[in-house]
Structure formats: C-alpha cells, structure tokens
Amino acid sequence: MATLGVNIDHVATIRQARRTVEPDPVWAAALAELGGADAITVHLREDRRHIQDRDLEVLRQTVQVRLNLEAAIAPAMIEIACRVRPDQVTLVPERREEITTEGGLDVVAQKTATAAAVRRLQEAGIVVSLFIDPAAPQIDAAVDLGVEAVELHTGCYANATSDRERHEQLVELSRAAAMVRQARLTLNAGHGLTYRNVVPVARLEGMGELNIGHSIVARAVLVGLTQAVREMRALLT
Ligand code: PXP
C-alpha cells in the first residue's frame, strides 16, 4: 500500500495572494495529519512565492508525521535544509519562470552539483530523495549518488490525453519502478496526480509515498466552500 505525502504549497499560495496571515499552511498541515497524511511536503522555492522561511521553521516544530522538504540543489537552500533538519529533502529542479516544477532533476547533466548537495544533506543526517523522470539513465545516476530514495515524476502520465498514451506512460513508470526496486531504493512518485488518475500509480509494485498537492487543495476549496459561505451568511442575519 502506498502512503500519502500531502503537499500544502497551494495553501501558502492563497495566503501570499494577499500577503496576509490566512490560510496558514501550519494549520493546513495539522488538518492534513488529522485526515491521515503520512507526511507533509513543502517546497521552499528560491523566490519564496508560496512557502516562507517562517512556515518551514514552524512546521518543523509542529508536524508530527514526516516532514519532506522539496528544495533546489542551490547551496543556499541546502544550508537552510541542514539548519531546519526536515526528515527528508527531495531535490527538485527549479526555474523562476515556471508555474510549477517541470520535469525531473537532470541528475545526469548536473551530477557534480547534485552529489555535493546529497553529501551535505546526508552528513546532516537527512534522508535524500531525488525527483527524477522515469528514465533509466536518471535512475542509474541516482543510484550512483547513493541516495536513499527517488520520486518518479508522474507529470507525463498525468498529462496524457488518451487512454493509449496514459497506458504507455504507466508502462514507463512501471519499468522505472522495477529498476528502483532492484537497486533497493525507496520508491516514491508524484506530480499531477488526481482523484481520477492516482490508483494505477499507487498499485505499482513496491510503491512507497505519493506526493500530492494541487488536486487535494483544489478539492478542499470546493468541499469546504458551502460551509464557509453558510458561516459568513449566518453573521449577516
Ligand atoms: N512532487 C514534487 C517533487 C513536486 O514538485 C510537486 C509539486 O510541487 C508535487 C510532487 C505535487 O504535485 P501536484 O501539486 O501536481 O500534486
């Protein structure tokens, strides 16, 4: 059975739209835990567009399940991670102009810089996962670096526009998953997973944690809206 890491970045995105104090991702993490989250995931981006340094620090003190920090391999981010000490750091690619993470980390092309980040984090006692495309060269490179886990990028599977394409992408994920299992690394996956497409990925043999953000926060807005309106309406009567 796969476990669930709930990515709460979008809660901070709503807060940052007004630079106010609500909704607080720290509260969201507590509610996600109450709902059964096995881990809380946040991405502290270099441009701080959603999660802030304060959020990460308070989450470190309050989250009772595993705290997974997504971060770029930039030395400044690695230093923050080593100071705050999340349970796991997932190294991700980052471009300022992107709306969300696009594709996996190119470990093959950035092996030296990735190796330095991995070493520094492992020396600090932090479990390291690499967010990579489900491609053999990337998995081989991750194995070479001695990380504990990889998170397979499920974006191409999620973006498939036909059943056939979706099936082909699932086969790619399944092949990649087999390689990860064979190398005895922890197998995680994420990006673009929804209530409609998650089950086949969760059922891949040996699947560990699925990191899911957008779809859960999007649903939370809708399932919570009626109650929120009812409460405001009651104040006006
Ligand atoms: N995994 C990684 C490495 C990510 O960067 C993200 C998005 O921040 C996710 C999982 C979650 O993706 P989504 O928000 O599409 O569920």
Please give the residue that has the higher pLDDT: either 101 or 138: 138
Instruction: Give one word for 49, left, alpha or beta, with left for phi > 0 and alpha for psi -120 to 50.
Output: alpha
| Contact call for residues 152 and 187 (beta carbons, < 8 A) | yes
CA of 55 to the centre of ligand 1 (A): 18
Place of tokens 């499920």: 154
How many domains is the chain partitioned into structurally?
Answer: 1
Residues with Cβ within 8 Å of 215's Cβ and at least 6 positions away in sequence, in order, are 193, 194, 195
Q: What is the pTM of this model?
A: 0.97
209-212 and 66-71 beta bridge pairing? unpaired
Cα–ligand 1 centroid distance for 91 (angstroms): 12
Tell me if residue 153 is catalytic: no
pLDDT at 99 (0 to 100): 74
Average pLDDT value for residue range 45-59: 97
Domain extent, residue 221, equals 3-235
Looking at residues 109-117, what average pLDDT do you find? 97
Ligand 1 pocket member 133 (CB < 6 A):
no
In this predicted structure, the answer to whether residue 152 has a pLDDT above a threshold of 80 is yes
Q: Is 43 in the pocket of ligand 1 (CB under 6 A)?
A: yes
pLDDT band at 29 (very low <50, low <70, confident <90, very high): very high
Q: Which of 190, 208, 198, 205 is nearest to 149 (CA)?
A: 208
Percent of the chain topping pLDDT 70: 100
Average pLDDT over residues 155-177: 98
- Angstrom distance (rounded) from CA 214 to CA 119: 31
Which pLDDT score is estimated for 102? Answer: 77
Residue 84 to residue 95: CA distance in whole angstroms: 23
**214 catalytic residue (yes or no):** no
Q: Is 192 in the pocket of ligand 1 (CB under 6 A)?
A: yes
Whether 50 sits among the annotated catalytic residues: the reply is no
- What is the overall mean pLDDT for the chain? 97
The answer to whether residues 71 and 44 touch, using CB atoms and an 8 Å cutoff, is: yes
Tell me the CA–centroid distance for residue 144 and ligand 1, in Å. 24
- Structure token digits, residue 78: 């690695």
Flag whether pLDDT at 177 surpasses 90: yes
5 lines ligand 1 (CB under 6 A): no
22 pLDDT tier (thresholds 50, 70, 90) = very high
CATH number of the CATH domain containing 210: 3.20.20.70
Q: Is 204 exposed, middle or buried (0-12, 13-18, 19+ CB in 10 A)?
A: buried
Of 91, 188, 191, 209, the one to substitute when testing ligand 1's pocket (max ligand atoms within 8 A of C-beta) is 191
Regarding the beta carbon of 7 and ligand 1, being less than 6 Å apart is answered: yes
C-beta of residue 159 within 8 angstroms of C-beta of residue 179: no
Q: Which atom of ligand 1 is nearest to the CA of 192?
A: 15
